[in-house]
Structure 1
Amino acid sequence: MVGIAAIPNSGKPKALIYSPGGRDAWVATSLIDEAGLASIATADLSIFASSLSDDIAFGVLTEEAVRSRDLRPIAAWVSAQPSWSDLPFIVLTTRGGGPERNPAAARLSEVLGNVTFLERPFHATSFISIVRTALKGRLRQYEARAQLEALSDAERRLQTALAAGHLGAWELELSSRALAVSVTCKAIFGRGPNDEVTYDDLLASIHPDDRDLVQARLRETIDTGRDYSIDHRTIWPDGSEHWTEVHAQLHADRYGSARKLVGVCSDTTARKLAEEKLKRLNENLEERVRERTRDVEAAHRTLLEEVAQRERAEEQLRQSQKMEAIGQLTGGVAHDFNNLLMVVLGNLELLGKHVAGDAKATRLVDGALQGARRGAALTQRLLAFARQQDLQVRPVDLAELVSGMSDLLRRSVGSSVSIETILPATLPPALVDANQLELALLNLAVNARDAMPEGGRLSISLREEEVVGNVGDLSEGAYLVLAVADSGTGMDAETLKKAVDPFFSTKEVGKGTGLGLSMIHGLAVQLNGALLLTSELGVGTTAELWLPATKRRPERPAEAEFSVPQAASRLKILLVDDDALIAMSSVDMLEDLGHEVFEANSGSEALELIRSGQHFDLVITDYSMPGMTGAQLAEAARDIDPALPIVLATGYADLPAGTDIDLPRLAKPYNQAQLAKEIRKAVASKADPPPRFDSRGSGPRRLKADDASDEIGDGAYVV
């Protein structure tokens, strides 16, 4: 028997034995080894107590060795076990475990809890049977731990989604009326994070005029099982009036009886105030219309046009408010999902290098990469709809762009559709992102093809238009109009109104995401242009992209690079990101490129490393971090080392208002090739003196008109 001072945490379950006298320890160790389990024998009870851990499968003790010893350390560990753990103990005794023959057994049972007494002498098979039973029970406990950890991870993801949507979560137990609410839910009802909130409190806070409706709707949900959905007014403790939107579902027990309501709520006060303002505007407009109508009727009973304009303005305002609200939510969720996809794509890309010789593993990694890239493409569509995608705007010859896509367009629409183009050669360039515009044009062509299942004609034309004054979403100025017209089935007026709504689609389930036109609409607005749709059933549809014209000449594109760019030498890089998963993935990609990487999880931690005198060839920092943003970190770092190259990684297209910064941008999610390219560019430009900037809004700012993406879409051509 060997005494040990400490037990390493190997992560594998093992047996822990304390039997200082006789052959018991040797016998137990031999039998446990025969059962296929590692064991550790300790010569001292204090070492036995200190060696207890989650990795111990069960403990083996001899009764006479602990009969009169201090068992408080063991009892303390047993009582402090986590909820999933109930460590089994096997006690070897000469008097059994019953209180009649062995009164001391009761004390051991009380201290150890989960204990099995084995009377000596015993047969080897009896001991091994007890050992296997104890191990089986311990393994079930490990499974319970894994399930609890999985539930905890799922809860964290849910809370992240709720926070992104500014939604409060709540749960009402119907039998006891016990109410559980999140901090966000408390805030929506005007309560502080530490305030106790009961169901009666929330019911009392509902506006008296709305309380009966709320209770009636609640009874209807309990009686019928229908989803609970309502808008009502809420009176906060300070006396202010607010609007709250509540949605919930009924949960029943296994016998079908209603058990609880689980739902979310949001503050819709701003929306209601806007609607009220619109209502007052409507009332004022209606009064003006009535006065004008009386005057016109007295003269020639004519200018219905004013009424029609008012109705269009109201419809545009309602549509704008709806799209803005959906866009804010969609953009926030897409940005967070981009971060998660970056971790997945980065790790899969590195994993693919390690399994290059394994055909099956390579196929599985490629399949996962394709799925993740489709997810990235979907988030790009969401960001396009939300007007938050990162655009590389430059002067582009649209006629040349359309001509260059002719082969791709013909392959995409098929031989049953004829394509005609009207592309004047004297048109000025347009200020656009060429890659995103190509994707938009391809989406329009594929939509047109789907609208012509029996074949037809697709017309793509360009023309120049001049807008005088502000017309709808268009400001005064010159525009290039890219028109795509088909001879397909067309849309009725009701369908046309919803055509650019996100996730609206007339295609079969699984045939489209419903984001194509909404993405194109978002792109057009982000480019300071507009998407105009006209359609008629049985005649066809015309989509017009109005894009700002410019007098600047198009730049000649640089040659595409298809290999993974490599830096000229091994660099010492400081990576700053508060997200541990993203940081880990980026560090792995950088080290795989051959660089020496130092990691910091906050701006302040990064500044400490820079101030310590360590030399860094490059800093790559996330923008959105608590305490200190990436822009603030860059400003402070440049005060210390003005020549230090800095790259800003962000999932946002436009940084928040007031952030005036001229730094290379690395759009999330990025792959290893894009990361290497930005490193090479940043290091290559180190010889140029860096511009001064002020994160609060002062200082020079240059329009970023280079660094076009190396590839178009990255799977985004799936419509």
Structure 2
Amino acid sequence: MRVAAIPDHGKPRALIYTPAGRDASVAVSLIDEAGLASIAATDLSMFSSSLSDDIALGVLAEEAVRSSDLTAIAAWVSAQPSWSDLPFIVLTTRGGGPERNPGAARLSEVLGNVTFLERPFHATSFISIVRTALKGRHRQYEARAQLEALSEGERRLQTALVAGRLGAWELELSSKALSVSPTCKEIFGRSADDEVTYEGLIESIYPDDRPLVEARLRQTIDTGRDYSIEHRTIWPDGSLHWTEVHAQLYTDRYGAARKLVGVCSDTTARKTAEDNLKRLNETLEERVRERTTEVNAAHQTLLEEVAQRERAEEQLRQSQKMEAIGQLTGGVAHDFNNLLMVVLGNLELLGKHVAGDAKATRLVDGALQGARRGAALTQRLLAFARQQDLQVRPVDLAELVTGMNDLLQRSVGSSINIDAILPVALPPAMVDANQLELALLNLAVNARDAMPEGGRLAISLREEQVVGKDGGLREGSYLVLAVADSGTGMDPETLKRAVEPFFSTKEIGKGTGLGLSMIHGLAVQLNGALVLTSELGVGTTAELWLPATEWCLERPAEELPVPEAAPRLKILLVDDDTLIAMSSVDMLEDLGHEAVEANSGSEALALIRSGEHFDLVITDYSMPGMTGAQLAQSVRNMLPTLPIVLATGYADLPAGSDVDLPRLAKPYDQAQLAKEIAKAMSVETTPILRSSRIANASVPRFAKADDCCDEIGDGVRVV
């Protein structure tokens, strides 16, 4: 008789315990014929210990277990997960079925899903029973996969709820028991620790709105129609807020209403804007009515005003949408920066330890390249979110485009002709030359993809004047860099979504969907705009409107000398992310410094107050309880001359964070860390709090006489 070993996890097998005669070998042979591998247990203990989710069916001889202790088997059967009902085949002697055999009937109670087969049996009958049992088991495995998919879907749903600031709630209709998420409590003005009941929430609804809410609830329960309503809510502090609520009705298997599951959001800001807009509409409509008796020319003037208002409304809606997407994208990119900080730091140190191992070095280098590509992706996300760090100076755009001629032609290929219309004597524009070159290259590649059979690419430059507020642009002079193709073009719906991050009309694997969104973010961050026009079958034109300037470049920026390596220092490293802190400490120690780790601002202050000496403090900015800026101020009050470096993934710190500290941009490598330490130890300590958009920026000198700071956009300045 062949006895199989215990199978590898995840590979379904049959489990057999038929010790008498040839039953085991026959069963193994027939089960093999049915297409299933098997395990033949030598005793009942091995049978019970081999039971698992990967067992597809069990085969037992009734007389072998008739008087045995089946407690272990019964316990496993009763503990099966909800998706599992393991099928058993019990071999009995002739006339020994459950109808006439109490022992067989006992096995039915213990095993549950049992098929009895009397000996002697035909091989075809046994194989048929095995295949039927196996088919049922496969359906159970499919149910398991669906349950796991549902669990994963639930996790993703929770992530989406948090990102979208949506509160989740669930109401049991029979008991009126209400469960709500912390965000839901916040939307109704409660703290996370407050107890919230169904009756309490109904009482908080504005009295005039309460009848409608209750009527909609009854309608949903009676008809099963989705619940959707927007109403006013009075918070415990007496303030009035708007709440939008959506829910679905869940029923039991008999169709009776069982519970409501839904989400809610705070729409106070939107409703306030709508009310203001409504009042503006009413004012304009009143003016229209008053003017009906005036001359036609005045009436026509008023109707332009209406058209402008409609354009302004559309621009407002689009601006709000893009701002919301930008905030979410920037937050995700900041979190990725932290993750990449850990990966890059550890890989860099690991590379030093495996320097003599060619294969390990190759693997580490590959991982570093992948992590750096991830860092480049976060920079694109930060560009869309207007949180990237820009180095802005006056740039001759005609000279910049001319210098890219060869690169652009190689990028689009020989089947596309590039025509450049670049007037001379145009003023310079205030831009980041490197980022603008990347944006222009992106536009050229997009145009190439829209002209698979070849075509014409026109790059032109002109100066425009904006009077008043036009499309969100400030009044003044602009350089317009236009890229026009003769490609397939876009329909209005595609054009409307073209700058949304991750939206792409290219096939999977041919693009990230971040090119235009990055260019849009760059233009807005420079106080400019990206304007797209397109028509199917005609082509697409992308215009970058960039602010012109009177600044003139006097001479190239002086390269700062590379600071000498700092001596051995005792450094206090503060970061609430333990993985980042661990990686940074390892890098500092590898540089020869002594590093002390603290995971919060309060912990860092306690170390300093204890009298322990430190030569330098490196602190993360975004930490719960106490930010890096607040920690720096407290440290400066105690030790005014102690150098402090602020590590952050933000190019522009949140509003109210008036901080002027040396900045270490995340994710950073060991060389950048060493450079910032050396710079911090070589610069005399200065006050850290003042009004500033960006600190520690490298900026060129310009010929304009005024020695002043000209802020040109979020996260950008020139001096």
TM-score normalized with structure 2 length: 0.66
Equivalent residue, structure 2, for 1:420: 419
User: Contact conserved, 1:457 with 1:486, CA < 8 A, in 2?
Assistant: yes
User: Contact conserved, 1:417 with 1:449, CA < 8 A, in 2?
Assistant: yes
Give the direction of change, closer, same or farther, for the CA distance of 1:184–1:421 in structure 2 (3 Å limit). Answer: same
CA offsets 1:376-421 (integer angstroms, 9 cap, x no match): 3343333222222222323333334334433433333233222233
Equivalent residue, structure 2, for 1:532: 531
Superposition pairs of residues 445-464 of structure 1, within 5 angstroms: 445-464=444-463
Pick which of 248-257 and 340-349 moved more: 248-257
User: Contact conserved, 2:663 with 2:695, CA < 8 A, in 1?
Assistant: no
Distance 1:249 1:364 in 2: 50
Distance 2:481 2:377 in 1: 24
Give the direction of change, closer, same or farther, for the CA distance of 1:441–1:212 in structure 2 (3 Å limit). Answer: farther
User: Contact conserved, 1:246 with 1:263, CA < 8 A, in 2?
Assistant: yes
Give the direction of change, closer, same or farther, for the CA distance of 1:451–1:156 in structure 2 (3 Å limit). Answer: closer
Distance 1:380 1:495 in 2: 25
Equivalent residue, structure 1, for 2:651: 653
Give the direction of change, closer, same or farther, for the CA distance of 1:317–1:554 in structure 2 (3 Å limit). Answer: farther
Give the direction of change, closer, same or farther, for the CA distance of 1:238–1:690 in structure 2 (3 Å limit). Answer: closer
Letter in 2 for 1:679: I
Equivalent residue, structure 1, for 2:684: 689
Equivalent position SS for 1:541: strand
Equivalent residue, structure 2, for 1:553: 553
User: Contact conserved, 2:169 with 2:179, CA < 8 A, in 1?
Assistant: yes
Give the direction of change, closer, same or farther, for the CA distance of 1:275–1:405 in structure 2 (3 Å limit). Answer: same
Determine if the alignment matches structure 1 residue 213 to structure 2 residue 211: no
CA offsets 1:238-278 (integer angstroms, 9 cap, x no match): 66543323456889999999987665432122112212222
Distance 2:300 2:157 in 1: 61
Which of 671, 674, 683 is the matching residue for 1:673? 671
User: Contact conserved, 2:662 with 2:695, CA < 8 A, in 1?
Assistant: no
Give the direction of change, closer, same or farther, for the CA distance of 1:661–1:450 in structure 2 (3 Å limit). Answer: same
* TM-fit CA distance, 1:581: 1.9
Distance 1:360 1:250 in 2: 58
Superposition pairs of residues 472-483 of structure 1, within 5 angstroms: 472-483=471-482
Equivalent position SS for 1:631: helix
CA offsets 1:52-73 (integer angstroms, 9 cap, x no match): xxxxxxxxxxxxxxxxxxxxxx
Equivalent residue, structure 1, for 2:467: 468
Distance 1:249 1:382 in 2: 35
User: Contact conserved, 2:479 with 2:548, CA < 8 A, in 1?
Assistant: yes
Gaps in structure 2 of 5+ consecutive residues: 1-150, 701-719
Letter in 1 for 2:178: L
CA offsets 1:479-509 (integer angstroms, 9 cap, x no match): 2222222111222334333332344333334
Equivalent residue, structure 1, for 2:438: 439
* TM-fit CA distance, 1:668: 1.9
* TM-fit CA distance, 1:642: 4.3
User: Contact conserved, 1:388 with 1:654, CA < 8 A, in 2?
Assistant: yes
Distance 1:353 1:425 in 2: 52
Give the direction of change, closer, same or farther, for the CA distance of 1:157–1:635 in structure 2 (3 Å limit). Answer: farther
Give the direction of change, closer, same or farther, for the CA distance of 1:444–1:273 in structure 2 (3 Å limit). Answer: same
User: Contact conserved, 1:429 with 1:553, CA < 8 A, in 2?
Assistant: no
User: Contact conserved, 1:214 with 1:230, CA < 8 A, in 2?
Assistant: no
Letter in 2 for 1:168: G
Distance 1:252 1:212 in 2: 19
Equivalent residue, structure 2, for 1:21: none
CA offsets 1:654-702 (integer angstroms, 9 cap, x no match): 223343333221222223333233233333xx2x43332436x5x9997
Equivalent position SS for 1:626: coil
Letter in 2 for 1:650: T
Give the direction of change, closer, same or farther, for the CA distance of 1:458–1:294 in structure 2 (3 Å limit). Answer: farther
User: Contact conserved, 2:398 with 2:423, CA < 8 A, in 1?
Assistant: yes
Gaps in structure 1 of 5+ consecutive residues: 1-151, 708-719
User: Contact conserved, 1:491 with 1:537, CA < 8 A, in 2?
Assistant: yes
Letter in 2 for 1:415: S
Equivalent position SS for 1:209: helix
Give the direction of change, closer, same or farther, for the CA distance of 1:160–1:536 in structure 2 (3 Å limit). Answer: closer
User: Contact conserved, 1:395 with 1:554, CA < 8 A, in 2?
Assistant: no
Equivalent position SS for 1:691: coil
Distance 1:213 1:398 in 2: 60
* TM-fit CA distance, 1:609: 3.7
Distance 2:662 2:253 in 1: 58
Distance 1:701 1:595 in 2: 28
Equivalent residue, structure 2, for 1:63: none
Equivalent position SS for 2:417: strand
Superposition pairs of residues 284-323 of structure 1, within 5 angstroms: 284-292=283-291, 295-297=294-296, 304-323=303-322
Q: Identity across aligned pairs (percent)?
A: 79
CA offsets 1:175-216 (integer angstroms, 9 cap, x no match): 765432222211212334333323454456554223333554
Equivalent position SS for 1:384: helix
User: Contact conserved, 2:483 with 2:543, CA < 8 A, in 1?
Assistant: yes
Equivalent position SS for 1:597: strand
Distance 1:351 1:327 in 2: 35
Distance 1:587 1:160 in 2: 31
Letter in 2 for 1:449: R
Letter in 2 for 1:213: R
Superposition pairs of residues 181-330 of structure 1, within 5 angstroms: 181-199=180-198, 201-202=200-201, 205=204, 207=209, 208-214=211-217, 216-217=219-220, 231-236=230-235, 241-246=240-245, 264-292=263-291, 295-297=294-296, 304-330=303-329
CA offsets 1:414-444 (integer angstroms, 9 cap, x no match): 3322223333453333222233223322222
Give the direction of change, closer, same or farther, for the CA distance of 1:398–1:302 in structure 2 (3 Å limit). Answer: closer
User: Contact conserved, 1:566 with 1:676, CA < 8 A, in 2?
Assistant: no
User: Contact conserved, 1:393 with 1:705, CA < 8 A, in 2?
Assistant: no
* TM-fit CA distance, 1:348: 3.2
Equivalent position SS for 1:625: coil
Equivalent position SS for 1:599: strand
User: Contact conserved, 2:220 with 2:249, CA < 8 A, in 1?
Assistant: no
* TM-fit CA distance, 1:553: 0.9
CA RMSD, 1 decimal: 4.1
Pick which of 565-574 and 158-167 moved more: 158-167
Give the direction of change, closer, same or farther, for the CA distance of 1:157–1:584 in structure 2 (3 Å limit). Answer: farther
Distance 1:396 1:557 in 2: 13
Give the direction of change, closer, same or farther, for the CA distance of 1:491–1:198 in structure 2 (3 Å limit). Answer: same
Give the direction of change, closer, same or farther, for the CA distance of 1:218–1:355 in structure 2 (3 Å limit). Answer: farther
Give the direction of change, closer, same or farther, for the CA distance of 1:397–1:557 in structure 2 (3 Å limit). Answer: farther
Superposition pairs of residues 609-620 of structure 1, within 5 angstroms: 609-620=607-618
Superposition pairs of residues 133-152 of structure 1, within 5 angstroms: none
Give the direction of change, closer, same or farther, for the CA distance of 1:461–1:682 in structure 2 (3 Å limit). Answer: farther
TM-score normalized with structure 1 length: 0.66
User: Contact conserved, 1:393 with 1:704, CA < 8 A, in 2?
Assistant: no
Pick which of 605-614 and 530-539 moved more: 605-614
Distance 2:308 2:252 in 1: 55
Distance 1:587 1:159 in 2: 34
Equivalent residue, structure 2, for 1:577: 575
User: Contact conserved, 1:168 with 1:183, CA < 8 A, in 2?
Assistant: yes
CA offsets 1:124-181 (integer angstroms, 9 cap, x no match): xxxxxxxxxxxxxxxxxxxxxxxxxxxx999999988755653333345577654322
Letter in 2 for 1:597: A
Distance 1:608 1:191 in 2: 34
Give the direction of change, closer, same or farther, for the CA distance of 1:495–1:701 in structure 2 (3 Å limit). Answer: closer
User: Contact conserved, 1:496 with 1:535, CA < 8 A, in 2?
Assistant: yes
